[in-house]
Structure 1
């Protein structure tokens, strides 16, 4: 009898241990926006609420005190394999690993509209876009899905809606919609360090309610 009880206890403890290690709720439905962990420093947000579509330059590093909660659901929507896009993708992946975000990737090279729809259908907390070619498709998609937050890194929409945050710098700033590439565009400015700052600043903006604007991080 003692052997039977011991075996039963072991099974129960194992089950409890596995339950404690199980991941949180799946991606089967939308959920309320998770709260930020921490708070930005002075100079991150403008002194007064920014006008829609405006550009704001936060104080360098003012976003460092903000991070996403573990399990934050993020879809990385990406297109292309050029050096800037690859650098941005790597920055998002590194950020997700460090913050323990739940990251999934949608490659949209074949059909960018369909890729954006697939990303939205996964019910993420945030969709991060990497790749200039996505700008024009996202201009259409984001305006018709105002309940879905988007972060565009290294590019921006010409007329972003309230659910879109962008992070840009001199040397990036592709705007699409016939405006094309900025005169100062320089792929060499897409460094690992700048891409990391852009992702962290952008996520901090989304988590703290800075939507519908462009953050400039020169």
Structure 2
């Protein structure tokens, strides 16, 4: 005897929640290379001297606003911690994802022992981009990211001390946590993680990645 349709629907919903899968797209299917929609505005970087990996650029405010990903861009939000700055970043990333219609999935590190495993879970999803929010993830990303050079990472509100070409960061003087025992910056200010700055961070960072300006630090002190 066939199960009732309501039971089938309930089971399907439960399975989707457990796997974190979007009902609109199966990430196991072939996916075209992401391309930007729109172009960077004047002042994002100097075209005559494109930034090299590990360099820092200070883009003109709003020079990234004309760029967005195509619908269905596959993004994993990787997050750890429940402090106010991390919550502000997560809210901004989710808001950006909703506005741009990207396919967003979230991986949360449960505790300190789950940091590296959480990165592994994000990698296994095979996204176009992994966006990291939370200072606790900086050192684990330093360990893991050099072994996955084909995967693009974006760190918002912090940076890696020695990033490889696949790790881009968006930072400012009130953030600038770098891990590796360097401690918190003397200019660290939780109050600098405003909704406006966090929203600018995800947009500027993704605009850079989509334009192959990766492995750099985008400095947002001029907002």
Q: Does the alignment reach a TM-score above 0.5? A: yes
With structure 2 as the length reference, what TM-score do the two structures score?
0.85
Matches within 5 A, 1:60-209: 60-110=61-111, 111-209=114-212
- Aligned residues of 1:75 and 1:124 also touching (Cα < 8 A): yes
CA gap 1:148/1:52 in 2 versus in 1, 3 angstroms: same
Deviations 1:12-71 (A, max 9, x none): xxxxxxxxxx97651115744310110011111233121221111011100010001111
- Aligned residues of 1:30 and 1:124 also touching (Cα < 8 A): no
CA gap 1:171/1:52 in 2 versus in 1, 3 angstroms: same
CA gap 1:30/1:50 in 2 versus in 1, 3 angstroms: farther
**Greater C-alpha Rg:** 1
Q: Which runs of 5+ in 1 are unaligned?
A: 1-21
CA gap 1:180/1:46 in 2 versus in 1, 3 angstroms: farther
Deviations 1:104-162 (A, max 9, x none): 00001331100001001001110000000000000011111000000000000000000
Q: Secondary structure at 1:140's aligned position in 2? A: helix
Q: Secondary structure at 1:112's aligned position in 2? A: helix
Cα offset for 1:180? Answer: 1.9
Matches of 1:146 and 1:29, distance apart in 2: 21
CA gap 1:132/1:29 in 2 versus in 1, 3 angstroms: farther
Q: Secondary structure at 2:106's aligned position in 1? A: strand
Cα offset for 1:81? Answer: 0.6
Cα offset for 1:179? Answer: 1.1
- Structure 1 counterpart of 2:4: none
Q: Secondary structure at 2:174's aligned position in 1? A: coil
Q: Which runs of 5+ in 2 are unaligned?
A: 1-21
Deviations 1:153-208 (A, max 9, x none): 00000000000100001100000011121110000000111000001000000000
How many equivalent residue pairs?
197
Question: Deviation above 2 Å: which 4+ runs of structure 1?
Answer: 22-25, 29-33
- Structure 2 counterpart of 1:40: 40
Q: Secondary structure at 2:203's aligned position in 1? A: helix
With structure 1 as the length reference, what TM-score do the two structures score?
0.87
